[in-house]
């Protein structure tokens, strides 16, 4: 109890002990306080009133009937259309680091690998069909029979091409989903020095000119930042790491497959007046599909290696975090 003077008269200024709703520690405040005061331990703004203490500041919002759950918020005062609720501050422990799973998620990687395998199988089917037509061109004795065979084959190849396009689209979606997650893992692990975001890591695949080099740079960044030998506390030291030759092979084969694919497509759409032109177009398709198979195989290998590398990185982070906790507890 403290003594003060009010209008020339002696008055008693009472203090009381209150408990902070955030950190749980107790401290004394002036009994006449009816405003927000900071907790001396965690600096949370707390409203002191005659009815008790409330973490603040207060937030007033319009609500609909049955739109809130009492378990999720503390209702201080209510009206038919409005409620006053306290914005609960973030606990200090929640800001120390993100929740880390026990292992790297494998679902998207598995989906991408399955679709890459399906894409390779479709390419093999197209190659087989193209080679069948190529050798049948020489064995057809009459031009009329040749035209009939070509027409039937074109219908078959058209249906096969539609199936290949569908598989290709799903493969692109699956690969982009995995690529997004692989980069997002680095963000969740609080790796410093990253230049991009998970969204742009995928978006650069669809931006002309930039898609010729930016995805390769991002893939190498994923590889370097996932190095399990570099501690998270080392900051951007991972940037000094050497890039992956597998990623280089993946990007080179992907670029080459797109170039050959464009050439084969233009040849298939051009007028083929002679048998030599038809054979050249078929061979271009076979080469294009073969390079696509190579690109798909290298992409699958890259996914496997990055997944393995990130799994080791997560284990290293968990071990490092556990060691810090034990050191902090004095064990």
pLDDT digits (tens, 9 = 90+) for 291-313: 999 999 999 999 999 999 999 99
Q: What pLDDT, on a 0 to 100 scale, did the predictor assign at position 59? A: 39
* pLDDT, mean of residues 95-111: 75
Of 88 and 228, the structure prediction assigns the larger pLDDT to 228
Note whether 83 and 147 are same-domain residues.
no
pLDDT at position 50 over 80: no
Note whether 156 and 197 are same-domain residues.
yes
Which residue has tokens 């393995």?
308
Note whether 141 and 265 are same-domain residues.
yes
Per the domain annotation, does 236 fall within a domain?
Answer: yes
Q: Which two tokens stand for residue 187?
A: 């963000």
Per the domain annotation, does 282 fall within a domain?
Answer: yes
pLDDT at position 318 over 50: yes
Note whether 171 and 304 are same-domain residues.
yes
Note whether 132 and 52 are same-domain residues.
no
Note whether 35 and 160 are same-domain residues.
no
Q: What pLDDT, on a 0 to 100 scale, did the predictor assign at position 266? A: 85
Bond preceding residue 57 cis, omega within 30 of 0: yes
Cβ neighbours around 137 below 10 Å, total:
15
Note whether 53 and 140 are same-domain residues.
no
Per the domain annotation, does 206 fall within a domain?
Answer: yes
pLDDT digits (tens, 9 = 90+) for 228-257: 998 878 888 899 989 999 999 999 999 999
Of 92 and 255, the structure prediction assigns the larger pLDDT to 255
**CA 18, CA 124: separation in Å to the nearest integer?**
75
Per the domain annotation, does 327 fall within a domain?
Answer: no
Note whether 10 and 130 are same-domain residues.
no
Note whether 154 and 118 are same-domain residues.
yes
Final residue in a domain of this structure, among 59, 88, 117: 88
Per the domain annotation, does 98 fall within a domain?
Answer: no
Per the domain annotation, does 232 fall within a domain?
Answer: yes
pLDDT band at 138 (very low <50, low <70, confident <90, very high): low
b/e per residue 284-321 (b: at least 16 CB within 10 A): bbbbbbebbbbbbbbbbebbeebbebbeebbebbeeee
Final residue in a domain of this structure, among 35, 54, 88: 88
Distance between alpha carbon 159 and the CA centroid of its chain, in Å? 35
pLDDT at position 66 over 80: no
Domain that holds residue 59: 2-88
pLDDT band at 58 (very low <50, low <70, confident <90, very high): very low
Per the domain annotation, does 283 fall within a domain?
Answer: yes
In this structure, the chain runs to a length of 331
pLDDT at position 102 over 60: yes
Number of folded domains in the chain? 2
pLDDT digits (tens, 9 = 90+) for 157-194: 788 889 999 999 999 999 999 999 999 999 999 899 99
Task: Calculate the average pLDDT of the chain.
Answer: 77
Q: What pLDDT, on a 0 to 100 scale, did the predictor assign at position 328? A: 52
Note whether 117 and 248 are same-domain residues.
yes
Final residue in a domain of this structure, among 27, 56, 88: 88
pLDDT digits (tens, 9 = 90+) for 266-285: 887 776 667 777 788 888 88
pLDDT at position 111 over 90: yes
Of 144-153, 186-195, 232-241, 317-326, the one with minimum mean pLDDT is 144-153
Per the domain annotation, does 118 fall within a domain?
Answer: yes
């Amino acid at each position: 109890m403290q003594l003060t003077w009010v209008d020339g008269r002696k008055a008693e200024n009472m203090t009381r002990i209150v408990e902070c709703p955030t950190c749980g520690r107790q401290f004394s405040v002036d009994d006449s306080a009816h405003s927000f005061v900071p907790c001396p331990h965690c600096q949370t703004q707390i409203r002191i009133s005659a009815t008790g203490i409330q973490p603040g500041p207060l937030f007033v919002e319009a609500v609909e009937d049955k739109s809130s759950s009492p378990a999720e918020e503390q209702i201080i005062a209510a009206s038919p259309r409005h409620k006053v609720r306290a914005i609960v501050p973030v606990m200090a422990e929640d800001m120390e680091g993100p929740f880390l799973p026990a292992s790297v998620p494998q679902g998207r990687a598995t989906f991408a690998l399955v679709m890459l395998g399906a894409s390779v199988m479709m390419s093999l089917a197209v190659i087989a069909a193209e080679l069948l037509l190529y050798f049948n061109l020489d064995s057809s004795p009459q031009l009329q029979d040749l035209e009939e065979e070509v027409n039937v084959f074109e219908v078959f190849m058209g249906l096969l091409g539609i199936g290949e396009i569908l598989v290709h689209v799903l493969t692109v979606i699956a690969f982009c989903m995995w690529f997004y997650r692989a980069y997002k893992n680095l963000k969740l692990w609080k790796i410093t020095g990253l230049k991009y975001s998970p969204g742009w890591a995928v978006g650069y695949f669809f931006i002309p000119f930039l898609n010729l080099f930016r995805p390769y740079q991002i893939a190498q960044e994923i590889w370097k930042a996932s190095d399990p030998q570099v501690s998270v506390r080392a900051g951007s030291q991972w940037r000094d790491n050497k890039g992956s030759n597998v990623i280089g092979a993946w990007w080179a084969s992907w670029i080459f497959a797109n170039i050959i694919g464009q050439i084969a497509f233009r040849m298939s759409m051009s007028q083929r007046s002679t048998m030599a032109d038809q054979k050249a177009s078929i061979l271009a398709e076979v080469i294009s599909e073969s390079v696509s198979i190579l690109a798909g195989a290298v992409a699958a290998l890259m996914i496997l290696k990055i997944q393995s590398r990130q799994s080791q990185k997560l284990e290293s982070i968990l071990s490092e975090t556990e060691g810090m906790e034990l050191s902090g507890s004095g064990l």
